């Protein structure tokens, strides 16, 4: 509800304190003092507030500022208001408003950000608070009461409980049958129930109930029998953040208390933990109870869990889920709650003092050891949100913990990440990328780049097809800026298929020219295997473009082959029979490299650039590299090494028997037009060129 100022030139005031949108008014000290005086005649009170220090500011005639005490004492509080409009206004540079209660009166508070230029030219950042008492009549009261009841109907934590709902004037406007039954008051006698209930509460003491939600346990005696109730109190706000009333819930804790608690919240059938709704309710109850100390929400994700049932079977998959459930139950023991939210996603509400990051990593390692094998490695990530605002919906807390999972990169054993506010910005950027992906494909903003692949003699053999994004708003995007986003969203197979089509079109364009004998390598990922019929898709592409299958080389990553060995063996064999050359990509980067070349027949082995990185023992690295190349030759495979950056690496790899090279020593990835102009004029021997990319 907005208050209309009385006896005021509206144009003047609205230019100073607009009632919506972004604003930041700046005044001299003299102008600010005059503004405060003028507004004090219109509102019940007007004042400047240092929102960070929670102090009222008095602007003196001599240009100094006197601090007149804490602003929250106006409302009978002992600390900062939970929904401080001035703090929000200064932080966001926007106006904020709410209703406040003091001495049984309802006030409307409007805060606007203000900058005051001091005599020494420094800037004082503060807020102006404009406060007006509401006139309340029967009609407006009835309307607000309906609003309160509508808000209460959306509350999710009132099941199995008595409920009493009050408006801003402390009138009880609703009670359910459980509330009447709890105190044995005849249904319908609302005023009698209110009077009895408030009398019962008289001995309960806490800081002003308007400060925050509260929870406690309280006894009730009836005919000599003792009852124990857990009582919670919570405020009600509308979608705009305006205070509308409050309600109490009363849960019977008499008798078998623990059994009642277990029955109150729903459980997951497989693990016995809370399910999603049960977890939200249990955590909300604990938070409302006012538990002291730092609390966290921990959420999990099993990387590539969709492959587990295919790889190990549903029974083994359920065994993994049950083991992870035990891990979360142990985390939450005696101090929290644990849940299986859905699928392989678990959550725990935990006392921060109960764990360290090392504890979590050790627990994950121990859990993984029970299931790791030559063909499968259990990879669990944890995201953690430190609870800062207890009134935040539990679902939002879980969302923030899940956002933290995006920070996990599996580098150096990193499997745990904490949420910070920068993640929200990152998430918004990711949504922008996903939102523009469809348009990017349709308008061909995603461009194929080619990186040359050369022989030991320096002859150009072909190229690997990579991709860059010429985004109309964000500019040139490298793969690191969008590939991971598309992978996490399950959309990377659409990009890969786009690149395959583009590569085939390039090869078609080269037919009948000096470039006709060149090949282009394209990547096939685990996501492609899950979403596409690879054989049908690839054979359709080469047929549609009228090219030879051997020109389109297929690089399959190690992780893409996790699963049914026989199925993928038949796929690779079928592709080779159709004329495709199949490479195993990034050899040495995975955990089952040797198993893959044991189980499958490849034409080419592509060595991961990690073998070329400097180590503390280059001799051992050379021995391993030599063995890998020799093994590939014994198995009838040609060898290409990517990531080659120096002449010394080229010479060393050539001496070990490597057949082909790819890397910055020869050239960085480049647009197709640049590739064609660079390598197909008069020069065909890449080694004769300057050290491109250096």
**Mean pLDDT, the chain, whole residue set:** 78
Q: How far apart are CA 398 and CA 620, in angstroms?
A: 46
Task: Label residue 263 by pLDDT band (50, 70, 90).
Answer: very low
Which of 564, 560, 398 minimizes the C-alpha distance to 487?
560
pTM for the whole structure: 0.47
Output the pLDDT for position 547. 95
DSSP letter for 386, please: E
DSSP letter for 156, please: S
Q: How far apart are CA 145 and CA 167, in angstroms?
A: 6
Q: Is 394 helix (H, G, I), strand (E, B) or coil?
A: helix
Cβ contact 540:532 at 8 Å = no
Q: Which helix (H) or strand (E) element contains residue 288?
A: helix 276-288
107 has which bridge partners?
Answer: 100, 133
Which of 602 and 589 is assigned the larger pLDDT?
A: 602
- The percent of residues above 90 in pLDDT, for the chain, comes to 23
pLDDT in tens, 212-251: 456 676 777 766 677 777 777 777 766 566 777 788 888 7
Output the pLDDT for position 19. 35
pLDDT in tens, 300-333: 988 777 776 666 777 888 888 888 888 888 888 6
Q: How far apart are CA 680 and CA 367, in angstroms?
A: 56
Q: What Cα–Cα distance (Å) separates residue 505 from each residue in 270, 520, 582?
A: 51, 11, 20
Task: Label residue 8 by pLDDT band (50, 70, 90).
Answer: very low
Q: How far apart are CA 534 and CA 560, in angstroms?
A: 12
**Considering only 90-94, 508-512, 570-574, 681-685, which range has the smallest mean pLDDT?**
681-685
- What Rg value do the Cα atoms of the chain yield, rounded? 34
Q: Is the pLDDT of residue 356 over 80?
A: yes
Residue 72: count other Cβ atoms within 10 Å of its Cβ. 18
pLDDT in tens, 424-464: 677 777 778 888 898 889 999 999 999 999 998 888 999 99
CA neighbours within 13 Å on the CB side: how many for 84? Answer: 27
Q: Is the pLDDT of residue 157 over 60?
A: no
Output the pLDDT for position 251. 76
Cβ contact 104:68 at 8 Å = no
Cβ contact 661:641 at 8 Å = yes
- Which tokens belong to 561? 């082959």
DSSP letter for 3, please: P
> Which residues contact residue 93 at a Cβ distance below 8 angstroms, ignoring those fewer than 6 apart?
22, 23, 24, 113
450 has which bridge partners?
Answer: 465, 670
Angle CA 414–419–422, to nearest 5: 110
Q: Is the pLDDT of residue 656 over 50?
A: yes
CA 120 to chain centre: 45
Task: Label residue 516 by pLDDT band (50, 70, 90).
Answer: confident
Q: Is 290 helix (H, G, I), strand (E, B) or coil?
A: coil
Output the pLDDT for position 133. 75
Q: How far apart are CA 665 and CA 694, in angstroms?
A: 6
Task: Label residue 269 by pLDDT band (50, 70, 90).
Answer: confident
Which of 34 and 205 is assigned the larger pLDDT?
A: 34
Q: Is the pLDDT of residue 339 over 80?
A: yes
**Considering only 140-154, 354-368, 515-529, which range has the smallest mean pLDDT?**
140-154
């Amino acid at each position: 509800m907005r208050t209309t100022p009385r006896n005021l030139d509206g144009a003047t005031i609205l230019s100073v304190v607009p009632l919506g949108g972004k604003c930041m008014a700046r005044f001299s000290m003299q102008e600010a003092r005059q503004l405060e005086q003028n507004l004090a005649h219109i509102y019940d009170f007007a004042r400047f507030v240092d929102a960070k220090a929670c102090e009222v500011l008095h602007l003196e005639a001599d240009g100094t500022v006197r601090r007149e005490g804490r602003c929250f004492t106006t409302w009978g509080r002992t600390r900062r208001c939970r929904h401080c409009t001035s703090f929000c206004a200064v932080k966001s540079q926007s106006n904020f408003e709410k209703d406040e209660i003091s001495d049984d009166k309802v006030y409307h508070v409007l805060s606007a950000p203000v900058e005051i230029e001091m005599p020494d030219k420094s800037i004082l950042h503060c807020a102006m608070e404009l406060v007006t008492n509401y006139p309340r009549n029967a009609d407006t009261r009835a309307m607000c009461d309906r609003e309160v009841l509508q808000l209460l109907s959306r509350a999710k934590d009132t099941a199995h409980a008595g409920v009493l709902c009050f408006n801003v004037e402390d009138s009880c406007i609703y009670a359910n049958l459980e509330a009447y039954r709890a105190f044995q008051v005849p249904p319908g006698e609302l005023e009698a129930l209110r009077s009895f209930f408030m009398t019962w509460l008289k001995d309960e003491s806490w800081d002003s109930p308007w400060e925050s939600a509260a929870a406690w346990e309280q006894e009730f005696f009836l005919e000599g029998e003792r009852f124990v109730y857990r009582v919670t109190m919570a405020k009600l706000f509308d979608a705009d953040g305006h205070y509308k009333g409050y309600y109490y819930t009363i849960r019977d804790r008499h008798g078998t208390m623990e059994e009642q608690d277990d029955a109150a919240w729903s459980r997951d059938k497989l693990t016995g933990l809370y399910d999603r709704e049960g977890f939200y309710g249990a955590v909300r109850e604990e938070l409302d109870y006012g538990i002291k100390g730092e609390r966290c929400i921990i959420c999990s994700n099993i990387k590539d869990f969709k492959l587990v049932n295919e790889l190990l079977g549903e029974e083994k998959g359920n065994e993994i889920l049950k083991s992870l459930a035990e891990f979360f139950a142990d985390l939450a023991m005696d101090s929290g709650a644990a849940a299986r939210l859905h699928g392989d996603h678990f959550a725990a509400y935990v006392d921060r003092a109960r764990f360290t990051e090392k504890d979590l990593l050790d627990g994950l390692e121990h859990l993984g050891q029970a299931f790791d094998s030559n063909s499968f490695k259990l990879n669990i990530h944890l995201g953690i949100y430190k609870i800062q605002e207890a009134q935040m919906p539990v679902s939002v807390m879980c969302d923030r913990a899940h956002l933290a999972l995006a920070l996990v990169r599996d580098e150096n054993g990193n499997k745990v990440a904490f949420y910070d506010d920068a993640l929200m910005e990152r998430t918004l950027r990711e949504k922008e990328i996903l939102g523009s992906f469809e348009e990017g494909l349709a308008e061909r903003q995603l461009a194929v780049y080619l990186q040359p692949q050369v022989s030991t003699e320096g002859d150009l053999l072909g190229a690997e097809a990579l991709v860059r994004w010429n985004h109309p708003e964000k500019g040139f995007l490298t793969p690191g800026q969008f590939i991971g986003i598309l992978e996490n969203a399950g959309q990377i197979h659409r990009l890969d298929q786009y690149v395959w089509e583009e590569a085939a079109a390039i090869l078609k364009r080269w037919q009948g020219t000096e470039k006709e004998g060149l090949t282009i390598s394209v990547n096939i990922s685990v996501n492609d295997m899950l979403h596409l019929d690879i054989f049908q898709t690839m054979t359709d592409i080469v047929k549609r473009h009228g090219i030879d299958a051997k020109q389109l080389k297929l690089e399959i990553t190690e992780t893409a082959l996790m699963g049914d060995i026989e199925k993928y063996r038949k796929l690779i064999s079928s592709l080779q029979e159709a004329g495709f050359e199949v490479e195993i990509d990034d050899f040495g980067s995975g955990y089952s490299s040797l198993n893959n070349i044991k189980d499958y027949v490849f034409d080419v082995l592509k060595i991961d650039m990690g073998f070329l990185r400097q180590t503390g023992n280059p001799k051992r690295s050379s021995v391993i590299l030599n063995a890998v190349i020799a093994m590939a030759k014994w198995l009838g495979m040609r060898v290409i090494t990517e990531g080659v950056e120096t002449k010394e690496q080229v010479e060393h790899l050539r001496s070990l028997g490597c057949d082909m090279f790819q890397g910055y020593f020869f050239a960085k990835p480049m647009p197709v037009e640049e590739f064609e102009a660079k390598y197909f004029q008069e020069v065909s021997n890449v080694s004769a060129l300057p050290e491109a990319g250096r």
